[in-house]
Amino acid sequence: METWLTSLTTDNPQAGFELAIKLARMGVKYTQPSAEARDKLRPVYAEDANALIASSQVVATNFQTIAAANNYWRS
């Protein structure tokens, strides 16, 4: 597999949040490597409020990690 995560350092909080989303998406991709299976499941969880909240929690946790790695963007 290609190396796609070379650093948690980002230029600003917006880029950090986008990286947090990418981390969450890549976590799903590693957990379920079949694109066909992911595509089949997407409509199910897209309508499930609990699944969406859980996804948001994963992104928030990732963002906390990235923010800490960036010294909260030196502020």
Which tens digits make up the pLDDT trace of 3-25?
999 999 999 999 999 999 999 99
pLDDT tens by residue, 16-50? 999 999 999 999 999 999 999 999 999 999 999 99
* Tally of structural domains, the chain: 1
- Cα end-to-end distance, the chain, whole Å: 36
Residue 61 token pair: 């946790």
**Is residue 61, in this structure, part of any structural domain at all?**
yes
**Is residue 24, in this structure, part of any structural domain at all?**
yes
Dump the DSSP string for 1-47: -------S--SSHHHHHHHHHHHHHHHHHHH---HHHHHHHHHHHHT
Residues of the domain holding 20: 13-74
**Is residue 28, in this structure, part of any structural domain at all?**
yes
Q: Which residue has the tokens 């963002």?
A: 63
22 and 60 in contact (C-beta within 8 Å)?
no
**Is residue 38, in this structure, part of any structural domain at all?**
yes
**Is residue 53, in this structure, part of any structural domain at all?**
yes
0.75 surpassed by pTM: yes
**Is residue 3, in this structure, part of any structural domain at all?**
no
Beta strands in 1-75 (DSSP E): none
**Is residue 52, in this structure, part of any structural domain at all?**
yes
